[in-house]
Structure 1
Amino acid sequence: MHGHDPARHRPPLRPYPDRRASAERRRQTTVTEAKPLTSTYLDQQPADGEAYLWYLGNCGYAIKTRNHFLVFDYFTRRLHPTEPSLANGFIDPAEVAPEDVTVFVSHEHGDHFDATIFGWPGHIPRLQYVFGFQPDSLPENARQGYAGQAYEYLGTGMTKTIDGMRVMAVRSNDAGVGFVIGVDGLTIYHAGDPAGWLPDQKQGFTSQIDSIAAAVGSVDIALVNVTGCHYQDTVALAEGTVYTLEKLHPKLVIPTHGYMREYYYPRFMSKFAGQFPDVKSFCPIWRGDAVRFTGGEKPARVEML
């Protein structure tokens, strides 16, 4: 499995000094970050079948396609930089205000559902929410600041066309859903928290992957949980990843759910290098790490930014 294209075979590059994210600094409630060049890629206009992706921690990603800007499972961990930017892995509403923004939240757990997203209306003119759960049905102390904002709900097995995107929800075996999105010449699978399985529950996981394969055939980008949730069986996690790769044939695989343990991403993905030599992977280390992906009808290409 190729990673980061040729950069995977070089010694790790030293990150920008202002993007260092030691455990000590991540625990701070306020950090100061300058904005390095990564965020300038917002000015680029992807073609059909092309996307820019920024790592926002844990399962959080921002993905810019030709006509859309998608935010998945944004999670601040109560860190609030004085200068938030995609370049340091945080959303600044002013920075993305020109974009057509859709915020996807797979489920209500605190490492996927963050109160920050409800402060964006009024700052981002074109903003919508898509949830795999119903926040208004949660206990008030679990709503993360939800106060009646409009949203699209997609439960397991539901498919909707939202702002020109075809969005399908599949069941997570932890909570909520995963999303399969057809957008601007790309098919993107964000798994949310379906990962591994409890004893005798393997079929519940594989059946959801089968449903994706039946609906779309293959995907361009798969963001998959590699650390587990309720049941952290490393064998089941590896088997689930293999099953996903065999069934969905992704061109780019991105491991997720490893916040503060990002060192584990390349270690996990290296297990499959021999079995899937043509599949590329992106293994971020720091919030704000970014990649440009070209897929769709074109040969897959991954470029670290």
Structure 2
Amino acid sequence: MPSVSIQYLYHSGFAVETASHLFIFDYYLDTPRGCGPDQGVVSPSMLQGRDVVVFVSHSHGDHYNPAIFQWRKGNPQIRYILADEIATKEDVLSVKAGKTYPLGGLEVRTLDSTDLGVAFLVKADGLCLYHAGDLNWWHWNDEPEEANRAMARRYQQQIDSLKGESIDIAFIPVDPRQEENALLGLDYFMKQVGARWIVPMHFGSNGSIFERINHDPRTASYRDRILQISHRGQRFQISIP
């Protein structure tokens, strides 16, 4: 039975440890200085002697910090997988949406974001992980209805492409700014694709979104599979049947 360690780094940033790899997704907040993993700050000691793969879904400042490339000083073997819209002179694998990349020990499939960049479907160590980046059902009440309908179609098309995948852990945006629409993307994903565990993200410091998650009737059928994040640096150890 595979075991996975998940650490919440902040916002959409996570460290995921599998049997053979340490995956870091969308890390950007590297303060306060001098702090370590227990505070959600990646430290060089955390990366030494590990097979580290760093994923960046897109270039928005709340998902990407070029400071990640400093980690190579302590571990020159770190691999970086970045959406191809990110401009950098660093040695990285730039990935396009709608492609599959076999990478020696893991397979990475990309989806087209409804905002910018890509989402990642990662298969490694007998596990399947989905990190949405900013691929979400971005319904805004102040947007024209036609724009919201177009957004719904785009999101549904991308999520529908995941049908048939057996996803173990899904990292899904639940942005509190969307108010009553914050769970549209999560609920569509769970009803159409599903995952053994759900990790909410993209809520910044606004943990009140869990009140909505835990009381919205739409989540009743899968609420017991949602990780309850309470603070930065929080760790979860989960087993995958």
TM-based fold match above 0.5: yes
User: Any idea what the Cα deviations from partners look like across 1:10-38, whole Å, max 9, x if unmatched?
Assistant: xxxxxxxxxxxxxxxxxxxxxxxxxxxxx
User: Any idea what the Cα deviations from partners look like across 1:180-204, whole Å, max 9, x if unmatched?
Assistant: 0111111100000122234122110
For the pair shown, which has the larger CA radius of gyration, 1 or 2? Answer: 1
Q: Which amino acid aligns with 2:72?
A: P
Give 2:13's aligned residue.
60
Contact residue 169 and residue 196 of structure 2 kept, 8 A? yes
Between the two proteins, the alignment pairs up a number of residues equal to 231
Give 1:242's aligned residue.
187
Residues 276 and 284 (structure 1), Cα distance of their counterparts in 2 relative to 1, 3 Å cut: closer
Q: Aligned partners of 1:159 and 1:266: how far apart in 2?
A: 37
Asked if 1:211 is matched to 2:152, the reply is no
Contact residue 213 and residue 219 of structure 2 kept, 8 A? no
Asked if 1:191 is matched to 2:132, the reply is yes
Contact residue 173 and residue 185 of structure 2 kept, 8 A? no
Give 1:258's aligned residue.
203
Contact residue 106 and residue 133 of structure 1 kept, 8 A? no
After TM superposition, which residue ranges in structure 1, 4 or more long, deviate above 6 angstroms?
Answer: none
Q: Residue 10 of structure 2: SS of its match in structure 1?
A: coil
Give 1:166's aligned residue.
107
Give 2:22's aligned residue.
69
- CA-based RMSD of the aligned residues comes to 1.8
Residue 126 of structure 1 deviates from its aligned partner by: 2.3
Give 1:149's aligned residue.
90
Unaligned runs of 5+ residues in structure 1 are: 1-47, 137-145, 299-305
Q: Which amino acid aligns with 1:58?
A: H
Q: Aligned partners of 2:113 and 2:187: how far apart in 1?
A: 17
Q: Aligned partners of 1:263 and 1:98: how far apart in 2?
A: 38
Residues 134 and 239 (structure 1), Cα distance of their counterparts in 2 relative to 1, 3 Å cut: closer
Q: Which amino acid aligns with 2:212?
A: R
User: Any idea what the Cα deviations from partners look like across 1:198-244, whole Å, max 9, x if unmatched?
Assistant: 41221100111111124x2x21101000107xxx5445432321110
Contact residue 51 and residue 294 of structure 1 kept, 8 A? yes
Residues 285 and 132 (structure 1), Cα distance of their counterparts in 2 relative to 1, 3 Å cut: same
Q: Aligned partners of 2:214 and 2:174: how far apart in 1?
A: 9
Q: Which amino acid aligns with 2:75?
A: I
Q: Aligned partners of 1:286 and 1:237: how far apart in 2?
A: 20
Give 1:81's aligned residue.
33
Asked if 1:274 is matched to 2:204, the reply is no
Q: Which amino acid aligns with 2:159?
A: I
**1:227 corresponds to which of 164, 168, 175:** 175
Report the TM-score when normalising by structure 1.
0.71
User: Any idea what the Cα deviations from partners look like across 1:222-271, whole Å, max 9, x if unmatched?
Assistant: 1000107xxx5445432321110012221111110011112323532442
Residue 293 of structure 1 deviates from its aligned partner by: 1.3
Q: Aligned partners of 2:222 and 2:26: how far apart in 1?
A: 28
User: Any idea what the Cα deviations from partners look like across 1:92-135, whole Å, max 9, x if unmatched?
Assistant: 01222111000000000000001220111121132010012343
Q: Aligned partners of 1:282 and 1:276: how far apart in 2?
A: 11
Give 1:18's aligned residue.
none
Q: Which amino acid aligns with 1:114?
A: N
Q: Which amino acid aligns with 2:4?
A: A
Q: Counterparts of 1:99-114 in structure 2 under 5 Å? A: 99-114=50-65
Contact residue 132 and residue 169 of structure 1 kept, 8 A? no
Residues 195 and 55 (structure 1), Cα distance of their counterparts in 2 relative to 1, 3 Å cut: same
Report the TM-score when normalising by structure 2.
0.89
Contact residue 195 and residue 237 of structure 1 kept, 8 A? no
Q: Which amino acid aligns with 1:172?
A: S
